[in-house]
Amino acid sequence: MMQNDLFSKSEPKIEALCDGVYLLRQFIEPELFYNQIMKMAKISPFRRMMTPGGKIMNIAITNSGDVGWYSDRKGYRYLPLDPLNAKPWPPLADFMIKAAKQAAQKAGFKNYNPDTCLINCYQTGDRLTPHQDKNEQDFSQPIVSMSLGLSAIFQLYEEVRGGKPKNILLDNGDVLVFGGPARRYFHAVKKLEKDNHTLTGSKRYNLTFRKAL
Ligand code: MD6
Ligand code: FE
């Protein structure tokens, strides 16, 4: 009995959604990550970036790590310095890297070495349109995605943009590992519904750990 209980806690369930995509529900300690984000945002604040086409994105973004994902008129790319303060992005905390590696390991990705984390902040009505993540060098490395606060529906398409997506509900503390053949699949996040969460209020945060360089 006792041993069974301990086992179920140390071996959380992992759900395979398709080849390369795995969901680990309630895998992280949300408060720990939320507090860390708030600390990092004092150095590199959340800001709404400009698309290469000149539109202002809804979702507010910041980064942590050796480089940070950035978008402006010059395009999408990774930058070693935050253009807002001309300083390095706040470093990845050890516990963040450890959790991301543990999630990747559980999904079968042995040599995962993230060097950056993109942090998205969604407010009521914000959505993420279908896209592929392709600004990274090495597609054999998965992306580890962590959700905090309000729930959202993640939509997973196949390699082509059209067709019916698989809808995946991402809750506070859930971790999605996104690799293998699915690493190039289109995906989106549905409009954030108006709601209130004890940790994040009216917001949802998403952290995506990547090996960019
Ligand atoms: C989000 N996530 O969940 C946005 N991309 O708010 C992504 O765009 C994403 O979760 C690549 C891999 C995993 C992801
Ligand atoms: Fe993405």
Dihedral angle, C-alpha 137, 104, 21, 120, nearest 10 °: -70
Q: Tokens 């943009």, residue?
A: 161
Least distant ligand from the CA of 127:
1
Mutation pick for ligand 1 pocket among 143, 203, 204 (CB with most ligand atoms within 8 Å): 143
Residue 69 CB less than 6 A away from ligand 1: no
User: How large is the average pLDDT for residues 167-179?
Assistant: 98
> Which CATH number among 2.60.120.590, 3.40.640.10, 3.40.190.10, 2.70.70.10 corresponds to the domain 3-210?
2.60.120.590
- Residue 20 has which token pair? 């390369």
Distance CA 95, CA 123 (A): 27
User: How large is the average pLDDT for residues 155-168?
Assistant: 86
6: pLDDT confidence band, cut at 50, 70 and 90? low
Query: Which one is predicted more confidently, 3 or 21?
Result: 21
User: Cβ distance 112 to 144 under 8 Å?
Assistant: yes
For 159, counting Cβ atoms within 10 Å of its Cβ (0-12 exposed, 13-18 middle, 19+ buried), the class is exposed
User: pLDDT digits over 59-104, tens only?
Assistant: 999 999 999 999 999 999 999 999 999 999 999 999 999 999 999 9
Closest ligand 1 atom number to CA of residue 154 = 3
For 73-104, the DSSP string reads: TTEEEEESEETTTTEEPPPPPHHHHHHHHHHH
- Given this model, what pLDDT does residue 2 score? 44
Residue whose C-alpha is closest to residue 110's, from 78, 81, 141: 141
Residue ranges per structural domain of the chain = 3-210
Distance CA 126, CA 201 (A): 15
DSSP letter for 39, please: H
User: Cβ distance 135 to 205 under 8 Å?
Assistant: no
Mutation pick for ligand 1 pocket among 119, 134, 145 (CB with most ligand atoms within 8 Å): 145
